[in-house]
């Protein structure tokens, strides 16, 4: 009897060991042929993701009185909610800022530690919507010659720099991908070496799985460090993978200047080939004419690579008079400029006919009854009553993969038909059904 019990105990222990081992293996990077096959299957069923990188500007006394964290934190949270981030990485968030963001975003959980040896200081934390995602595994490493030493400073860097990563599971589809978020130092050597380390660590941790890398890189798209990532064969800048990026200021680091215009982007999101970049926009929202941070966040909407991309080129019907139909099967009406625009007409008359005028660089003006349609900058319902055309009357004409098109206003938002049950607006942050149109 004792021999039998001992045998049963050994079998139970072996089964437990194998089960634990399988669990550990699930969290490790696998590089076998079988793994690559499973990765391909998983990548094809990845969900649509809305992700962002956001340097929220650290909480420092020199920003008083115009840019205090106490005032800015509600702006940042409003921006995150308005633009419907699913997952985002922050930079420069101190412990008190992390606490505030976590309290003000109850639908989000976080992973990550501060950059100092004791886990305090500026975070490059990952926020994720806990109702949609869970964490399978996560960790941190430092951008230095000793990446596993907490608080270690690399090469000639001025400060310790930490990278937070997570293997994130989409609950609905039970698929997963890896996300790395960090903040590089300012010196040339440290940035060059940090890029090499990041590529090495992503290969070690993520293998051939889908991966996203975001950061305040402190280098622009014209630098050697950027080119190393862009030509790595692992990642591409999401900005370059979308044919219709929105970036009205041309840059991502505003220095608290709402009027600054520059061609330098230093905040980037890089993605692996598993993703198709459906949308990317540099969010330049103001709140009472104030900036939430000295950086603009970069937002992407990612589809699985198996989904069709936007057409490479588009024929815009410049100079033609057209009718525009929403996905509800109804025509858009100018309402003769005496009432807000609607998409509710069963037949098309003179009020439903628009002349398409070339506004330059893929933009159009829409003119009906000798008046221009205005986006009202998304602040009010659209109306077609302008006698002259300016920025509020110009729209990006953006083709969709299904043969429809969308209109994007100068505020970076998309025109919505309101499904014909409400006034048309130019306030949608992404393209779904109501933001798709056809024309004849």
Main-chain dihedrals φ then ψ at residue 200, nearest 5 degrees = -65, -45
Residues 6+ apart with CB under 8 A from 133: 86, 87, 168, 169, 170, 171
Last residue of a domain, one of 254, 276, 304: 304
Q: Are residues 278 and 344 in the same domain?
A: no
Q: Are residues 45 and 183 in the same domain?
A: yes
Q: Among 89-103, 230-244, 250-264, 307-321, name the one with the lowest average pLDDT.
A: 307-321
What is the mean predicted confidence (pLDDT) over 44-54?
90
User: Range of 113's domain?
Assistant: 39-304
Q: Are residues 145 and 280 in the same domain?
A: yes
Is the model's pLDDT at 10 over the cut of 80?
no
Last residue of a domain, one of 304, 331, 350: 304
Peptide bond into 65 cis (omega under 30): yes
**Predicted confidence band at 308 (pLDDT cuts at 50, 70, 90)?**
confident
Does a structural domain hold residue 312?
A: no
Q: Are residues 107 and 162 in the same domain?
A: yes
Q: Are residues 108 and 158 in the same domain?
A: yes
Residues 6+ apart with CB under 8 A from 434: 326, 327, 416, 417, 418, 419, 428
Is the model's pLDDT at 179 over the cut of 70?
yes
Q: Are 410 and 377 in contact (CB under 8 A)?
A: yes
**What is the pLDDT of the chain when averaged over all its residues?**
91
Q: Are residues 287 and 231 in the same domain?
A: yes
Is the model's pLDDT at 181 over the cut of 60?
yes
Q: Are residues 190 and 333 in the same domain?
A: no
| Higher-confidence position of 312 and 36 | 312
SS3 string of 60-71? CHHHCCCCCHHH
Does a structural domain hold residue 203?
A: yes
Q: Are 223 and 187 in contact (CB under 8 A)?
A: no
Number of domains within the chain: 2
Last residue of a domain, one of 272, 304, 336: 304
d(CA 200, CA 187): 20
Does a structural domain hold residue 30?
A: no
* CATH code where residue 225 lies: 3.60.10.10
Q: Are residues 118 and 235 in the same domain?
A: yes
What is the mean predicted confidence (pLDDT) over 390-401?
96
174, two tokens: 């039970």
Does a structural domain hold residue 14?
A: no
Does a structural domain hold residue 209?
A: yes
The pLDDT, as a whole number, for residue 311 is: 87
Q: Are residues 299 and 335 in the same domain?
A: no
- The H or E element spanning position 428 is strand 425-428
Q: Among 21-30, 80-89, 125-134, 430-439, name the one with the lowest average pLDDT.
A: 21-30
What is the mean predicted confidence (pLDDT) over 14-42?
37
Q: Are residues 221 and 332 in the same domain?
A: no
Does a structural domain hold residue 17?
A: no
Q: Are residues 150 and 216 in the same domain?
A: yes
Does a structural domain hold residue 310?
A: no
Q: Are residues 344 and 433 in the same domain?
A: yes
* CATH code where residue 421 lies: 2.80.10.50
Per residue in 102-160, pLDDT (tens digit) is 999 999 999 999 999 999 999 999 999 999 999 999 999 999 999 999 999 999 999 99
Which candidate, 269, 282, 272, 270, places its Cα nearest to that of 304?
Answer: 272
Does a structural domain hold residue 18?
A: no
């Amino acid at each position: 009897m004792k021999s039998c019990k001992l045998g049963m105990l050994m079998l139970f222990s072996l089964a437990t060991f194998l089960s634990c081992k399988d669990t550990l293996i699930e969290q490790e990077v696998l590089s076998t042929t079988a793994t690559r096959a499973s990765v391909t299957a998983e990548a094809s069923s990845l969900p649509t993701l809305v992700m962002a990188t956001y340097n929220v500007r650290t909480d420092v006394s020199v920003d008083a009185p115009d840019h205090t964290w106490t005032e800015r934190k509600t702006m940042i949270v409003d921006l995150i909610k308005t633009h419907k981030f699913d997952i985002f990485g922050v930079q420069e968030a101190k412990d008190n800022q992390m606490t505030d963001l976590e309290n003000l975003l109850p639908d989000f959980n976080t992973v990550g530690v501060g950059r100092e040896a004791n886990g305090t200081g500026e975070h490059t934390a990952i926020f994720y919507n806990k109702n949609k995602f869970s964490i399978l595994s996560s960790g941190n490493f430092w951008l230095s010659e000793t990446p596993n030493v907490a608080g270690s400073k690399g090469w000639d860097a001025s400060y310790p720099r930490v990278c937070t990563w997570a293997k994130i599971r989409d609950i609905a589809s039970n698929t997963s991908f890896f996300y790395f978020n960090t903040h590089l130092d300012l010196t040339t050597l440290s940035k060059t070496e940090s890029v090499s380390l990041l590529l090495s660590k992503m290969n070690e941790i993520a293998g051939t799985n889908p991966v996203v890398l975001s950061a305040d890189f402190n280098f622009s798209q014209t630098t050697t460090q950027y080119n190393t990532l862009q030509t790595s064969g692992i990642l591409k800048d999401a900005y370059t993978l979308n044919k219709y990026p929105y970036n009205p200021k041309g840059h991502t680091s505003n220095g608290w200047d709402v009027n600054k215009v520059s061609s330098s982007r230093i905040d980037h999101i890089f993605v692996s080939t598993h993703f198709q970049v459906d949308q990317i926009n540099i969010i330049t929202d103001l709140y009472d004419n104030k900036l939430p941070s000295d950086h603009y966040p970069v937002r992407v909407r990612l589809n699985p690579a198996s989904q069709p991309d936007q057409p490479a080129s588009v024929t815009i019907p410049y100079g033609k008079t057209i009718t525009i139909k929403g996905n509800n099967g109804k025509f858009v009406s100018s309402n003769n400029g005496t009432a807000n625009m609607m998409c509710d007409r069963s037949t098309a008359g003179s009020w439903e006919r628009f002349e398409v005028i070339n506004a330059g660089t893929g933009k159009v003006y829409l003119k009906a009854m000798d008046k221009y349609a205005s986006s009202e900058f998304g602040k009010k319902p659209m109306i077609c009553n302008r006698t002259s055309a300016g920025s509020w009357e110009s729209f990006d004409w953006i083709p969709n993969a299904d043969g429809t098109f969308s209109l994007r206003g100068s505020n970076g938002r998309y025109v919505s038909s309101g499904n014909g049950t409400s006034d048309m607006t130019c306030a949608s942050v992404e393209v779904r059904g109501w933001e798709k149109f056809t024309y004849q």
